[in-house]
């Protein structure tokens, strides 16, 4: 069965498209464009789904070898994120492909999906049974995705949104929340959340054009998912305050942080220096020889009886990674001039970024990895390149550009002047 990865721009009728465009214009004033730019969010609206082309009657052109291998027909080469989604998504319902909660975790922690023959094709009664297991928001926590396991569905746009949450700092997250709190009541409802998710998703994709399919965007939006029911209740009428939404965001980051820590700790209470290097270099785009040079350098500089990196130390470093864009702005002078930096200078720069200095043990480990000539310094460009790959888990799209200090500063100045 051939399917197409399609993007719908607007609604199925010109009238609905006009209404949606009006909302976008109203909500993307000069002030809001600055906010969007600062938060790193695109302003295009799109919904995504995988559709059975035989039933939809779509005339499409073949895409890449990747598309053929995954039994998908598309008019463009699959992006890294689209390909990753297709590789790990194990559920199909009503001709749309979904991830389960554990598929999502696996896509971030495994090199390849777990062995399976086919995707599970669910019927309506199966979906209803699965979705009834979704716990309310108050019962969530940092084990939510692991607890739900295979009992749930996550759409492609939600997948992209969750990926984005894993790479954003609290500052960027707050800006996004304030932008999409349409009625300024301090809460986000289901419709506002879905608008956020679609905007994040549209920024990450490179699909273009309009496809006429047997489902309208409105029909796709009506489909309940595990995430929607968890956040907004079975009836969809619950709302989330900023603090509640931030709690979900922090739980998600903590859950992934814990999973990766215990994977590399290998049943112990700390990660060894060499395994810490492997964890840092995970997803980085370095050649085979350079990768082993990094590991060998750490091994030569480490003692067998070293305590390693604890869970709390790894948690602080993970928080630093989520503020990588702010850190890059703080050290821009060093980056532009390619000036090496010492351990104390590095620790102070991190402290200025996240309000807490990294543990000296962690700083020492980082310098063992990146101090190539043993002079007690590291090069920021090399370090930031590897950390960026690590933060985005090797899934960063070509069109995605990090938001810098200048648009953020201009946005803050604008907001302060209005206070």
- 270 in the Ramachandran plot: left (φ > 0), alpha (ψ -120 to 50) or beta? beta
* CA nearest to 83, candidates 69, 93, 96, 102: 69
Positions in the chain whose pLDDT score sits under 50: 1-64, 203-215, 397-419
Q: What is the pLDDT of residue 57?
A: 30
Would you say the C-alpha torsion 211, 217, 220, 225 has a positive or negative sign? Answer: positive
Find all residues with CB under 8 Å of 363, minimum gap 6, and list them: 343, 346, 347
Q: What is the pLDDT of residue 340?
A: 78
Find all residues with CB under 8 Å of 325, minimum gap 6, and list them: 40, 169, 172, 402, 403, 404
Rounded Cα distance between 197 and 47, Å, is 9
Torsion angles phi and psi, residue 397, rounded to 5: -80, 160
- Annotated domain spans of the chain: 80-210+218-252, 266-392
The residue count of the chain comes to 419
Alpha carbon 162 to chain centroid distance?
Answer: 5
Q: Which residue shows structure tokens 């500052």?
A: 171
CB neighbourhood size of 319 (10 A): 21
Q: What is the pLDDT of residue 299?
A: 93
Q: Residue 338 has which token pair?
A: 């390619």
163, 395 in Cβ contact below 8 A? yes
Rounded Cα distance between 17 and 413, Å, is 34
Rounded Cα distance between 274 and 297, Å, is 9
Q: Which residues of 90-101 are buried (b: 16+ CB within 10 A; e: fewer)?
A: bbbbbbbbbbbb
Give 266: exposed, middle or buried? Use CB within 10 Å, 0-12, 13-18, 19+. Answer: exposed
Does residue 135 sit in helix, strand or coil? coil
321, 390 in Cβ contact below 8 A? yes
Torsion angles phi and psi, residue 190, rounded to 5: -60, -45
162, 107 in Cβ contact below 8 A? no
269, 160 in Cβ contact below 8 A? no
Q: What is the pLDDT of residue 97?
A: 86
Question: How many Cα atoms within 13 Å fall on the side-chain side of residue 176?
Answer: 26
Q: How far, CA to CA in Å, does 42 sit from each of 163, 166, 190, 211, 402?
A: 15, 17, 20, 21, 12
Alpha carbon 416 to chain centroid distance?
Answer: 30
Can you spell out the DSSP letters for 304-320? TT---EEHHHHHHHHHH
Query: What strands lie across the sheet with 96-98, from one edge to the other?
Result: 96-98, 91-93, 120-122
Task: Output the furthest CA–CA distance in the chain (Å, rounded).
Answer: 69
Alpha helices (H) along 75-123: 80-88, 101-109
Q: What is the pLDDT of residue 218?
A: 58
| E-strand stretches of 266-391 | 270-271, 309-310, 341-342, 377-378
Does residue 357 sit in helix, strand or coil? coil
Rounded Cα distance between 146 and 177, Å, is 26
């Amino acid at each position: 069965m051939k399917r197409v990865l399609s993007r719908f721009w607007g609604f199925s009728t010109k009238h609905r498209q006009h209404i949606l465009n009006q909302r976008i214009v109203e909500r993307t004033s000069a002030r809001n464009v600055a906010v969007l730019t600062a938060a790193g969010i695109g302003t295009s609206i799109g919904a995504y789904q995988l559709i059975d082309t035989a039933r939809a009657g779509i005339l499409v052109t073949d895409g890449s070898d990747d598309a053929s291998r995954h039994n998908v027909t598309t008019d463009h080469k699959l992006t890294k994120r689209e390909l990753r989604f297709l590789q790990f998504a194990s559920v199909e319902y009503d001709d749309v492909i979904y991830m389960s909660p554990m598929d999502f975790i696996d896509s971030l922690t495994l090199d390849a999906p777990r062995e399976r023959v086919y995707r599970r094709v669910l019927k309506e009664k199966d979906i209803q049974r699965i979705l009834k297991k979704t716990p309310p928001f108050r019962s969530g926590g940092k084990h939510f995705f692991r607890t739900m396991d295979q009992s749930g569905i996550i759409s492609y746009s939600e997948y992209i949104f969750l990926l984005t949450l894993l790479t954003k700092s609290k500052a960027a997250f707050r800006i996004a929340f304030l932008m999409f709190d349409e009625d300024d009541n301090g809460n986000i409802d289901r419709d506002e959340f879905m608008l956020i998710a679609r905007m994040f998703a549209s920024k990450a994709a490179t699909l273009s054009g309009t496809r006429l399919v047997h489902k309208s965007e409105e029909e796709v939006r009506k489909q309940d998912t595990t995430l929607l029911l968890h956040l907004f209740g079975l009836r969809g009428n619950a709302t989330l305050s900023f603090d509640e939404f931030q709690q979900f965001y922090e739980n998600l980051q903590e859950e992934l942080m814990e999973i990766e820590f215990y994977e590399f700790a290998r049943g112990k209470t700390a990660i060894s220096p060499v395994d810490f290097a492997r964890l840092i270099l995970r997803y980085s785009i370095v050649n085979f020889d350079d990768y082993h040079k990094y590991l060998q350098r750490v091994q030569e500089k480490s003692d067998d009886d070293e305590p390693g990196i604890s869970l709390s130390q790894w948690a602080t470093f993970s928080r630093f990674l989520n503020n990588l864009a702010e850190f890059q702005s703080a050290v821009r002078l060093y980056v532009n001039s390619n000036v090496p930096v010492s351990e104390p200078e590095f620790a102070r720069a991190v402290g200025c970024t996240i309000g807490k200095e990294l543990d000296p043990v962690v700083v020492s480990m980082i310098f063992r990895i990146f101090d190539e000539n043993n002079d007690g310094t590291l090069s920021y460009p090399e370090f930031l390149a590897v950390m960026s790959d690590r933060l985005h888990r090797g899934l960063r799209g070509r069109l995605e550009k990090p938001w810098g200090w200048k648009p953020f500063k201009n946005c803050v100045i604008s907001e302060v002047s209005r206070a």
